Amino acid sequence: MRKLITPVIASLASAVIIAGCSSQPSTVSVDTTPKALPADIAEKPIELFVGQDLGAVGGLEDYDQGYVNYFGIPSGVTVYTSLKDLEGLEQKVNYGAGDNYANLYLESDAFKGVDIAMGLYLVDQLDDINAGTLDSNISKLANWISQSERTVYLRIGYEFEGSWNGYASDDYKEAYRRIVDGLNKLNVDNVEYVWQSSGYEEDREELLSYYPGDAYVDWVAYSYFNHDPKLAGQEMLRIARERGKPVMIAELTPRGYNLMLDDGKKTWDSWFKPFLNHLKENQDVIKIIAYINADWDVQPMWKGQGWGDTRLQSNLYIANKWRRTIKREEWLVTSTVAIPPIFLLPDDYDELKQARNKAAEDTVPQENQWQAEDATPTGNVRIYPDGAAAGGKGMAYMYQLGDSLTFKGVPQSNYFVIRYASERSGKIGLFVNGQRAYDIEFDSTGSWVGTYNKVEMRVDIPEGLM
C-alpha cells in the first residue's frame, strides 16, 4: 500500500493555455540606431505624478487623507475620461474606482501649475471616432486642455495592446491620429501625446503594429505592477531609445500587496527596491513615473481582484523610505510636507492584521510542498512579485503552449494540489516523465495576482520522476 504524499506547487499565476492561432500583425520598419532625447528633457530628473482618483491624491477640502496630505504635492496628478462622454472633467464621476473631477485641480490654488496625465478611454469608441461622430468632443477636449494652463499628458487609448480593451491595431492607429490631428488643428500647444502599452508579455511586432507614427507620439509609456523588473516595458524602452522618445511609467503600483498590513521592510525589499533598480537601469529615458496611491480593495470596481492597498502613508516604514527616496533621487515634486500627520489605523486593524498573518502562514511551504519558483521554467514563464504568494513571489506568464515548469526528482505521490491565480478559467497539462498524463482544469480567481485558489486531484506519480 502506497503512503499518501501531497506535493503542492504554490504561487503559480497566469496559468492559461491558449489554443488556436492568429494572423501576423502588420509591421512598421524601424531604424534601430539609438537617438538622443531632446536636450531639455534628457537633462531633467524624474518627475513624480500621483493618482488615480481624488481620494488617492488628497489635498482638497473633501479629500484630505490622500497622498498630498502626507507627502506633499507631486509634479503631476492623473485623471481619467472617455472621448464619448468626457466625464470627470467638468463634473464629478465615480464608476466604482473613486471620484474623478479634474476641474477641482484647476480650481485649487494648491494645485496651481501641477501637470495632468489624462487617461483617455476609447473602448467601443473607435468606429465612432474614425467615422467623425465624436469630432465635436475632440474639439471640447481641446478647449478643456487649452484652458487648463498646464501641460496635459494625453494617454490616448492607454494599454492599447491589452486584450481587455479589444483595440484592433489599424482602427486604433486611425483613431489616435484623428484625435491628435483634431487637437493640432485647434492649435493646442500645452498637450503631450502619450502612447502607452500594458508592459506585459511584450511582442515587438505586435506593439509596432499599433504605432501611430513618430509625428504623433511625444512620449512612450507602459504600466508597471507585478512585472519582472528586468523585463518590464523592455520593448517599449527599446522603441523609445530607437526613436528618441522619453518614457513615462504611466501606471505604477505594487499590485497584490497590502501596505497597511504587510511587513514594511519585506515589502520594500521585495517590490520597491527592484522597481528602483529598474529606474536606475533605464534612467536615460524614464522621465516621469505615476504612482497609484489607492486602497483598491474598498473600491467596487477592483474589490476581490487582489489589487490590495497601495497607500504609501499607511505603512510607517515605507512612508519614511519613500520620503528619503524622493530626496535622494531628486525627483521633481511641487512641494513636500515637513511634519506629516499620523496615519490613523482603522478600529479593526488588529483583526485585519491577524487575518493577513494567518493567510501568510497558510502559504508557508510544508513537507512535500514544492515552490513554483524552485522549478526550471521554459518559454515565457518567469518570476513575479506578489504579496499574497508564498514568500512574496511566484511564477507567471504561463499562457501558451510550450510554457512550463519542470520539477526533477519529485517524491512518489498519489495526490496533487496546485495553488494558482488566474483572471481566466482554463486548463494546463501535468506531465509525468515527459508525457502528458493529466489535464488540470481550473476556474478563474478574478485576478492574475493577489487572489489564490487550489485545485486538488488524484494522481499516480512514481518516485523520482518528473
Q: What angle do CA 5, 8, 13 make, to 5 degrees?
A: 165
Cell matching residue 172:
486604433
SS (H, E, C) 321-381: HHHHHHHHHCCEECCCCCCCCCCCCCCCHHHHHHHHHHHHHHCCCCCCEEEHHHCEEECCC
Q: Quote the cell numbers at residue 343.
A: 496615519
Cβ(186)–Cβ(139) under 8 Å? yes
Residue pointed to by grid coordinates 499628458: 153
Known catalytic membership, residue 159: yes
Query: Per-residue DSSP letters for 69-117?
Result: HHH--BSEEEEEEETTT-TTTSS-B-SSS--B-THHHHH-GGGTT-EEE
Q: Catalytic: which of 202, 251, 373, 423? A: 251
Q: Which of 117, 123, 112 is nearest to 100 (CA)?
A: 117
What does the alpha-carbon distance between residue 28 and residue 458 come to, in Å, rounded to a whole number?
50
**Residue 441 burial (CB < 10 Å; 0-12/13-18/19+)?**
exposed
Alpha-carbon gap, residue 302 to 308, rounded angstroms: 9
Locate 275 and state its grid cell: 522597481
Q: Does residue 61 carry a catalytic annotation?
A: no
- H or E segment and range at residue 242: helix 234-243
Q: What are the residues whose beta carbons fall under 8 Å from the beta carbon of 246, sequence distance 6 or more?
A: 37, 38, 41, 218, 219, 220, 240, 285, 286, 287, 288
The contacts of residue 433 (CB under 8 Å, 6+ apart) are 465, 466
From 47, 159, 202, 423, the catalytic residue: 159
Q: Which residues of 392-418 are buried (b: 16+ CB within 10 A; e: fewer)?
A: bbbbbbbbeeebbbeeeebbebeebbb
Residues 6+ apart with CB under 8 A from 299: 96, 97, 98
What's the N-to-C CA distance of the chain in angstroms?
22
* β-pairing verdict for 286-292 and 247-252: parallel
Burial class (CB in 10 A: 0-12, 13-18, 19+), 88: buried
The residues assigned a catalytic role are 159, 251
